[in-house]
Structure 1
Amino acid sequence: MRYDAIIFDLFGTLVDNLPAAAFKQTLTQIATILRVPAPELISLWRGELWQRRVRGEFASLPETYNYVCNTFGVTVSESQIEEAVKVRFDYSRRSLAPRVDTVETLRTLKAAGYAIGLISDCSMEIPQLWDKSALAPLIDVPLFSCAVKLKKPDPHIYALAHERLDIPAERCLYVGDGGSRELTGATATGMQAVLIYAPYETFKGHSEHQEEVDGWQGPKISAIREILTIVDETLLS
């Protein structure tokens, strides 16, 4: 075995990135509930709030929404906050649906003796939903940026992953779609890395993401099952 562990990114890797239209529709619905302007909420959510949420600065969605309301100078009821929380959790629950070949691939890797890790830049609703997801039983060590308060490509989050797996970095293979400069972040810590780039994925408006994809000189795959050909071709039989 060339590797002892495979560490995966989550969004755009094990699960699809939900379409931009779904993201906009969800935030527009939340804006209506909280009685704040939708375009400004979307801009805030994608900008300042994204960075703060994934670093775990907000412990919960209600805390995040209270910050939003204070920012826009509006007062809302507890029931409005609860309704907005439900909308976001419904969206996040849908976002955790595995890609068509993900579950089978992870089962194959685990049966072959590989340890499986996960590093995801995400906000608190993802770890709160994680245990009930189809992926949870298949991941030995899941790391969520908001929980460990580290964001890719910080080398400490990769170090934490291989330490919790109890496997040296050089025996770990990292697989991701290039978001957050995760691939160069992984290789800088001594891991090998693979870019997954599904043909139907686009990163319009995400220049840093696209730079990592366009500039990547390492191995590439277009579907998660193809990782089997990199770790051990006999697993495909």
Structure 2
Amino acid sequence: MLAPVDQLADARAEAVLFDFSGTLFDDTGVLDPAALAAAAARHGVRLDETGAAEVIRRTLRHVDSPEGFAAREGCDLSPQAHRRVWTTLIADAGPFEAPLVEALYACLTDPHAWLPYPDTVPVLRALREAGVRTGVLSNIGWDIRPAFARVEVLDALHTVVLSCEHGLAKPDPALFALACERLGTPPGRVLYVGDDPAKDGAAVRAGLPVYLLPSERSAGAARGLAAVLRLVR
């Protein structure tokens, strides 16, 4: 869905800003039982994959509950806030002891655990080859740049704007304005691509046209990012 459409009716976008989680990188498979069991061992905790799967299930059930969502408010404004909020949520999900909490938090924020959608790398490379200025704007509490470097597309990004580095988070229009300034492109010519109608859709308040990806996702399936290539010069 593109909104508002009229902003791109006469001329296509000159630059693109992407959300990270759920847009370019898959957020559904980050916590893996084998990886958690290995991380737990490094923290002195004996945990087999069956036990790790149960820990993950209990954690996700708690953090994705209405109470968990409420507790996560403001967690992306700094790395310290992110660690404090998420380790508290993880601990309360068990309750789990500190070493296991640290192991799970390490898995959650491990750039190698975040995998791009099948169309992420091709689309970012196509934009780079077309000379389109491209960036990422994300509500996140840790540095995601290594995730892009690992799949060799960090050099395709002209800017990476993270909420935890600026003390601002979507839907604050000031964060979108900052990202456009970093791109050197007027907001009306910057297409914002995301998946959250509230936080990503708020880009329209800063003057950016928005392309929202479908909320439905299939494991291993392309995210629909190729459509972006038709919306830029």
TM-score range (shorter-chain normalised) is 0.5 to 0.7
RMSD of equivalent CA atoms: 3.9
What TM-score does the superposition give when structure 1 sets the normalisation length?
0.66
Q: Which residue of 2 aligns with 1:215?
A: none
Distance 1:148 1:180 in 2: 20
Q: What secondary structure, in the 3-state scheme, does the structure 1 residue paired with 2:210 have?
A: strand
Deviates more, 1:158-167 or 1:173-182: 173-182
Distance 1:32 1:139 in 2: 36
Q: Which has the higher contact order (CA 8 A, sep 6+)?
A: 2
Letter in 2 for 1:89: T
Q: How many angstroms does 1:118 deviate by?
A: 1.0
Residue of structure 1 aligned with 2:208, choices 173, 181, 191: 191
Q: Is the 8 A contact 2:30 2:108 kept in 1?
A: no
For residues 117-128 of structure 1, the aligned pairs below 5 Å read 117-124=135-142, 126-127=143-144
Name the CA shift for 1:87/1:3 in 2 (closer, same or farther; >3 Å): closer
- Aligned sequence identity (%): 24
Instruction: Note if 1:54 corresponds to 2:76.
Output: yes
Q: Which residue of 2 aligns with 1:3?
A: 13
Distance 1:131 1:19 in 2: 17
Name the CA shift for 1:52/1:44 in 2 (closer, same or farther; >3 Å): farther
Letter in 2 for 1:153: P
Q: Which residue of 1 aligns with 2:108?
A: 88
Q: Is the 8 A contact 2:16 2:193 kept in 1?
A: yes
Name the structure where helix makes up a greater proportion of residues: 1
Q: Is the 8 A contact 2:193 2:200 kept in 1?
A: no
Q: Is the 8 A contact 1:196 1:223 kept in 2?
A: yes
For residues 195-210 of structure 1, the aligned pairs below 5 Å read 195-197=212-214, 199-200=216-217
Q: How many angstroms does 1:18 deviate by?
A: 0.9
Distance 2:160 2:88 in 1: 28
Name the CA shift for 1:104/1:45 in 2 (closer, same or farther; >3 Å): farther
Residue of structure 2 aligned with 1:153, choices 171, 175, 187: 171
Q: Which residue of 2 aligns with 1:206?
A: none
Q: How many angstroms does 1:123 deviate by?
A: 2.0
Distance 1:66 1:12 in 2: 22
For residues 54-73 of structure 1, the aligned pairs below 5 Å read 54-56=76-78, 58=80, 61=83, 63-64=84-85, 67=88
Name the CA shift for 1:48/1:110 in 2 (closer, same or farther; >3 Å): same
Q: How many angstroms does 1:136 deviate by?
A: 2.2
Q: Is the 8 A contact 1:31 1:41 kept in 2?
A: no
Q: Is the 8 A contact 2:63 2:90 kept in 1?
A: no
Q: Which residue of 2 aligns with 1:15?
A: 25
Q: How many angstroms does 1:229 deviate by?
A: 1.8
Name the CA shift for 1:109/1:42 in 2 (closer, same or farther; >3 Å): closer
Q: How many angstroms does 1:48 deviate by?
A: 4.2
Distance 1:195 1:70 in 2: 34
Q: Which residue of 1 aligns with 2:188?
A: 170
Q: How many angstroms does 1:166 deviate by?
A: 1.4
Any unmatched runs of 5+ in structure 1? 203-220, 233-237
What TM-score does the superposition give when structure 2 sets the normalisation length?
0.67
Q: Is the 8 A contact 1:198 1:223 kept in 2?
A: no
Letter in 2 for 1:196: L
Q: What secondary structure, in the 3-state scheme, does the structure 1 residue paired with 2:192 have?
A: strand
Name the CA shift for 1:143/1:201 in 2 (closer, same or farther; >3 Å): farther
Letter in 2 for 1:11: S
Q: Is the 8 A contact 1:69 1:76 kept in 2?
A: no
Letter in 2 for 1:17: D
Distance 2:159 2:27 in 1: 22
